[in-house]
Each structure stands twice: as C-alpha cells, then as structure tokens.
Structure 1
Amino acid sequence: MRILIAGGTGFVGSRLTQFFKEQGHEIYILTRNPHAQDYQEQVSYIEWLSPHSQPETELDEIDVCINLSGTSLNSGRWTNVKKQQILESRMMTTREFIRIMGALPQKPKVFVNASAIGFYGTSEEQVFTEDTIEPGHDFLAEVCSVWETEAQEAEELGIRTVFTRFGLILDRQEGALPKIALPYRLMAGGRLGNGKQWMSWIHIDDVVGAIDYIIHHEKIAGPVNLTAPHPKRNQDFGRTLSSVFKKPHWLPAPSFAIRTILGEMSILILKGQYVYPEKLDQSGYSFKHPTLKETLENIYS
C-alpha cells in the first residue's frame, strides 16, 4: 500500500511509519521541512503548508491517509492564545488534508483522522462508548467536536472516514508516562488530586495495531475509541505503577497545587473519563496489552 501521513515524525506517527515500513508499504510524510528529515528507505517527505507547496502534484494512487497533525496539548499553559493555536492548528491541517485528497485523481480508500477521548468531557461515574453522541462542555470536548466535524467532510469525497479518539498512550520514552513515572522513581509517588479520576489508557503497540486493523476492516467508520478495555482510576493506576517499580505510593499531590501550576491545563491530570473501546471489541480486535499491570511490566521490562 501507499500511505500518506501528516504528523509522521511525531510520537504516534514515527511508530506507525516504522511499522508500515516493516510491512513493506510505501510511506509519504507531509512536513513543513522535507529537507531537514533524515533519509529512510521506503519513506518520502513532501512539503506542505507553505505558500507554494502543492503536495498533490507529488502523489499518485494513495491508498490510506492518516492525519495526526496539531499543536500539542502539553506545549505550554493554556492561555487564550495557546487555546486558539490548539484549535486552529487542527482545523487548518485537516482542511488542507481534505483539499489534497480532493485533488488526487484517485481517492484513497480510507482517511484516519486523529481525535481524543476528551470529546466526551469528564466524569467519575459515566461509561462512554462510541454510542455517546453528545460531546462534553469543556475546552477539549469543543476542540474534538469541531475537529471531527471538519474531518467528516472527507465523506463527501466518498472516502471511508475514521476518527481515532486516543486515550492516554503509554510508552517508555514518549508521551505522558515518563512524567507520571518520575515521582515513583524518586520515591515520591502518590495519587493526583482526589485520585478518583479515570485514566483510559492504551499501550503504544495497540495504537499502532488498532490503526492497522481499522485500515484493513472496511466496515469500521466514524469514531473509534483507542483505549484498552480496562481503564483505571488514578489512585489504582499509581498503585499498579508502584508495584511494578517496587516503590512506595504514598505522597499525594493536592488539586489546588496542580491547578496553581497548570491552570486550565490541569484538567488533563485532575479530570478523566471511563472510555470503553466498544467498536474495536465488537469488530474482533485482539489487544496485545489489555491489562495495566502487564502493560507496565512490558514497557519497563
């Protein structure tokens, strides 16, 4: 297959690129700086989002399109300017991706657009599945809702469109886990806030595996929760991490201190949601790492 990726040099994108290379596919990565990228076999870098770039003229017979672009949610305190950047970066890249697909003489079979479980808002009691239609009422929910609405325009081109709602992606080197694990390494781990907030997590290997599964299963469309089937409350997540590290779980971080440091961005730590991957489950996807203890042991083995 020929696979076009935006955000292909990021956390998830680089793992997908490596996986697709091992499967023998050709990968095309949209980037603002194609000449700054290291050479890789089977990988071509194509310039986009510059005044004169026309990526569609360098592409032919693309089978799969994957959009992972957007300003990171963790790239600084959520000022009004930062929030605008987070929203506009997702809208702009998605809109441009759809324009590119529309300009291709042969349309791709599937468009996978990133989203997040932040779509659902937060709750300590409710269970969310893809059947939950109404978004939440906070900033993240607004961003995800608008983002998915923009991506849905790809359906007008006759392209199967999937919104992958990412949960907390666990990896040893990248993502949130190294920061979560650091206090435990320093013998200072404990619950965050009241510890009751749900953490709907997923191993990076299952992110890659699930996206590959979605590509090959034509009946899967619309929102898909990329979370493991067994979320954990923050206090239980911490206790599991402490048992894997054989370090204590004893020093809580109070909510007011976290809010003081992070401001509105503290919602990423102090709030959560129980999100179940119903579509993956019902379609027959088999998780490589379904339980947290085994996942953390795999990551830190």
Structure 2
Amino acid sequence: MKIAIAGGSGFVGKALADLCLQKGYEVTVLTRSESRASENPKLNYIQWLSPNTDPENHLDGFDCLINLSGESLNSGRWTRKRKQQIVDSRITTTKELIRILSMLEKKPSIVVQASAVGIYGTSKDQTFTEDTEDYGSDFLAETVKSWEKEAHALNQLGIRTCLARFGVILEKDGGALPLMALPYKLFAGGRLGRGDQWVSWVHLEDAARAILYIIHNPKLQGPINITSPNPSPMEEFGKTLGSVLKRPHWFPTPGLALRPVLGEKSMLVLEGQKVLPERLKQAGFTFQYPKLNQALEQIFSK
C-alpha cells in the first residue's frame, strides 16, 4: 500500500508514518522543507506548499492520502493574528490538497482529513457523537466548520472522504499533555477551573491505529470521532495524572486566574465536551488504551 501523509513531521504524523512502515507500507511525507532522501527505502519526502513545487507529479497511483496539516492550537497566545494563522493554515492546505487530487489521473481511493471535536462546541451535560448536528459557535467550532466545509469538495472528486475528529491526543512530548503534566512535576498540580469540564482524550497510538482502521474499512466515511470511549472530567483527569506521576493533586487553579494569563485559549482547559467514538465502536475498532490510567501509565513509563 502506498500512503501519502501531509503533516507527517508532526507528532501524530510521525507516529502514523512509523506504524505504516512497520506494516510494510510505502510512505511519502509531504513537507514544506526541501525534498530529501531517507535511510528507509520505503520512506520518501516531497516538498509542497512552496514556490515551484509540483507534488502532483509524484502522487499519481497512491492508495491513500492523509492530511494532518495545520498550525498547533497549543503554541502561543490566541491573538487576532494567531487565530487567523490557525484558520488559514487549515484552509490553505486543504485547498492545495484538493488542487493536487484534481490533477491526478489515478486518484487515491480514500482521503483522511484531520478535523477536531471542537466542532461540537462546549457543554458540561451534553454527550456528542457523529450524529450530532447542532454544532458550536465559538472560535474552535467555527474554525472546524470552515475546515470541514473545504474538505467536502473531495466528495465531488469521487473519493471516499473521512473527517478524523480528534480529541485531546495524549503523548509525552507533544500536544497538550506536557503542559498539563508540568504543574504536577513541580508539585503544584490540582483542579483546573471547576473540574467538571470534560476531557475527550485519546492515546497517540490509538489515534494512529484508528486512522489505519478507517483506511481499511470502506464502510467508514464522513465524520469519525477519534477519542477514547471513556472521556474524563478534568478533576478525574488531574487526579489520575497526579497518581501516575506520584505527585499530589491539591493546588486548585480557578478559571479567574487562568483567563488573564491564557486569554481566549483558556477554553482549551476550562471548557470541554463529552465526545464518544460511536462510528469506530460500531465498526469494531478496539482501543489499546480505553482507560485513562492505562494510557497515562504507558506514556510516562517510557
């Protein structure tokens, strides 16, 4: 199988590329950096989103294309400029992906487009699945709605399109977890905000495995939540994190203290949503790390 990954240098993309290579697939990573050789004969790099590049000349006949590109939500304060960068990075890469695919004589049979559970908005008492149609109206929700709207053009190309709505992806050195773990490592961990906000999380390995599962199951298409079947309230998440790190969970940080520091980005930890991966479950996907303590123990044992 030949798989192309846009955003393959990010922490999710690297994990996915490694998993594909373990299975013997040929992997091509689309990167803004100059094309370069790899020690692994089944791993290649081609340049895109830069002047005078022609990725479409290298992607004909691929079985699958996965788009994980986009500016991180976790870095930097959400200034007006930063928010525009977050939106533009997702729209620009999706438009370019569609342009490339439209030019291919032999198109891939499936495209997996990254998305996010942020589309559902925030709620403390509602449970969201892929069948939820009443989306949120905050910055994240509006960003994801615009992102997915661009991706709908893929359907017009006759390609099976899956929108991978990721939750909070847990990994030791990437994403949100290092920032969440830091206070505990400094013996200052505790409840964030009220503590009843939901964290819809997923272990990085399960996120990568879920993408491959989607690729190999032709009945799966459209939005697919990639989250653990057991989301956790923030209070429980913090207690479990403290327990795994062998640190106390005792130093509460009220929302009033976080909002001036983080600005609008504080919603990432002070607000949340309870999201369930119904379509993955119905399709028979098995999570390696369905429980939070299992996931965190494996992550911090490395």
Q: Please tell me the TM-score bracket, short chain as reference.
A: over 0.9
Are 2:94 and 1:94 equivalent residues in the alignment? Answer: yes
Q: How many residues align?
A: 301
Provide Cα deviations, 1:78-101, integer angstroms capped at 9, x if missing partner: 111111111111001001001111
**CA distance, structure 1, for counterparts of residue 135 and residue 150 of structure 2:** 15
Residue 202 of structure 1 corresponds to 202
SS at match of 1:249: coil
1:247 CA displacement: 1.7
SS at match of 2:18: helix
1:283 CA displacement: 0.8
Q: Which runs of 5+ in 1 are unaligned?
A: none
Moved more, 182-191 or 64-73: 182-191
SS at match of 2:225: strand
Residue 2 of structure 1 corresponds to 2
Q: Which runs of 5+ in 2 are unaligned?
A: none
Residue 296 of structure 1 corresponds to 296
Moved more, 153-162 or 245-254: 245-254
Residue 15 of structure 2 corresponds to 15
Instruction: Check 1:56–1:13 CA distance in 2 against 1; reply closer, same or farther (3 A cut).
Output: same
Instruction: Check 1:268–1:153 CA distance in 2 against 1; reply closer, same or farther (3 A cut).
Output: same
**CA distance, structure 2, for counterparts of residue 30 and residue 254 of structure 1:** 42
**CA distance, structure 1, for counterparts of residue 175 and residue 245 of structure 2:** 19
Residue 216 of structure 1 corresponds to 216
Q: Is the 8 A contact 2:2 2:26 kept in 1?
A: yes
Residue 125 of structure 2 corresponds to 125
Are 2:141 and 1:141 equivalent residues in the alignment? Answer: yes
Partner AA of 1:288 in structure 2 = Q
1:32 CA displacement: 1.3
Q: Is the 8 A contact 2:74 2:176 kept in 1?
A: no
User: Mapping of 1:259-270 within 5 angstroms?
Assistant: 259-270=259-270
Partner AA of 1:181 in structure 2 = A
**CA distance, structure 1, for counterparts of residue 112 and residue 38 of structure 2:** 25
Instruction: Check 1:299–1:30 CA distance in 2 against 1; reply closer, same or farther (3 A cut).
Output: same
**CA distance, structure 1, for counterparts of residue 250 and residue 177 of structure 2:** 18
Are 2:168 and 1:168 equivalent residues in the alignment? Answer: yes
Partner AA of 1:246 in structure 2 = K
Question: TM-score under structure 2 normalisation?
Answer: 0.97
Partner AA of 1:244 in structure 2 = V
**CA distance, structure 1, for counterparts of residue 247 and residue 192 of structure 2:** 16
**CA distance, structure 2, for counterparts of residue 151 and residue 24 of structure 1:** 29
**CA distance, structure 2, for counterparts of residue 204 and residue 99 of structure 1:** 30
